[in-house]
Chain A
């Protein structure tokens, strides 16, 4: 009974993380399309939500472990997973509040690393894995995307530079619908699987399933629905940052950032080296802007984003560790997760109620 309660709290927390993952990463697919007016904002997020939902069903290659190769798998418990999720949700909400794009995957890894460290000590963390799977991709992704998108836009201007600007803009707006759709589909096939993996692991740990079982349909449907709903709600603050605060982009630059970004993500993924969608598209936007004119990039905004990336892992780890310690205070039963969840739900409810009473929309659209 106690274990079942912990299990369902972990499932609900995983779906809450999936929701924040959706609205946090909406910007990756739609920000450039919205800012260049390739699509109306609501149309863009609706299309992104549908493609995220579809993507979640297309690829069921669910990761059987979270933070695989970074945390010792046999040391992970439901309490560690719960605390790690809270760390990741905290970081996603904080960076959304400040309109800063950051990697939800790195936040999740950070949360789990912090919770595992608090539970089992430094032996639980595989340092080589952290460098290989987090640090190097985090440095490489934006630089690579910056160069590829920058080169892409220079080649593009060279080829279409003598055409009428209105023709070029109209064509690239159409191209952005294709590149944005690819991004959304890619996001759905990747990120919903993380949540499915977490729920699957929780069910295995609780004895409801074995590792050889197929993933239950309700897990797939709920994870797909949570990420699609999050995407539909839209993290408008981040969309605004990525769409208009880093550079003022034209449709060709928007296409270059997205098209080159998609190419980088898929080429790297195919080579067995997955990169963060957020890092790639942010680097791509900066590259597409800097190639036209270095001063076109608002480097102050870009610097804030890089600071958020650097802080993602330690901040989520710190919150994950603190959450684990609080949960652990209440023993091994369900009391800890229940208390932490109740406190966080009340805090979230108060924050939302304040926004509603102040007459603001919950996600600050526009």
Chain B
């Protein structure tokens, strides 16, 4: 009787939403680190244009990561 009350659909939603959110967080921050490091390396090697491209990619990745953080705070504050 107790097991019948479990909402399998809800559990499935929790699993995929958590997995997706976790993967996006990991990938975005890893990209920030990767592009930031590549930007510094290419700048030291004297490749200004490539360095700037990596820098822009790092900034975009970081903005997306911080966007997730802001959305997380929004979720915290709007929970019912």
Contact between A182 and B73, CB atoms less than 8 A apart = yes
Contact between B29 and A255, CB atoms less than 8 A apart = yes
Contact of B72 with A by CB under 8 A: yes
Cα distance A264–B79 when bound, in Å?
15
Cα distance A201–B21 when bound, in Å?
36
The listed residue (B3, B21, B37) touching A131 by CB distance below 8 A is: B3
Using Cβ atoms and an 8 Å threshold, which residues of chain A touch B18? 144, 148, 263-264, 267-268
- The A-B contact count (CB < 8 A) is 132
Residue of B nearest to A272 (CB): B10
A159 and B31 in contact (CB under 8 A), knowing A267-B18, A270-B75, A271-B17? yes
Interface membership of chain A positions 113-152, coded 1 if the CB is closer than 8 angstroms to chain B and 0 otherwise: 0000000000000011001100010001000100111011
Contact between B80 and A182, CB atoms less than 8 A apart = no
Using Cβ atoms and an 8 Å threshold, which residues of chain A touch B6? 131-132, 136
Size class of the contact patch on chain B = 35 or more
Contact of B55 with A by CB under 8 A: no
Contact between B33 and A160, CB atoms less than 8 A apart = yes
The listed residue (A156, A160, A163, A266) touching B75 by CB distance below 8 A is: A266
Interface membership of chain A positions 145-177, coded 1 if the CB is closer than 8 angstroms to chain B and 0 otherwise: 001110111011001100110011001100100
Cα distance A55–B24 when bound, in Å?
25
User: Residues of A with Cβ closer than 8 Å to B?
Assistant: 55, 58-59, 61, 127-128, 131-132, 136, 140, 144, 147-149, 151-153, 155-156, 159-160, 163-164, 167-168, 171-172, 175, 178, 182, 185-186, 189, 255-256, 259-260, 262-264, 266-273
| 16 further A-B pairs in the complex, CB-CB below 8 A; given A175-B32, A259-B25 | A148-B19, A148-B22, A148-B23, A149-B22, A151-B26, A155-B23, A167-B40, A171-B33, A171-B37, A185-B73, A255-B29, A264-B21, A267-B14, A269-B75, A272-B10, A273-B10
Ordered by A's residue number, 8 sampled pairs between the chains whose C-beta atoms are within 8 Å are A61-B80, A128-B1, A148-B22, A159-B33, A168-B37, A264-B18, A266-B72, A273-B10
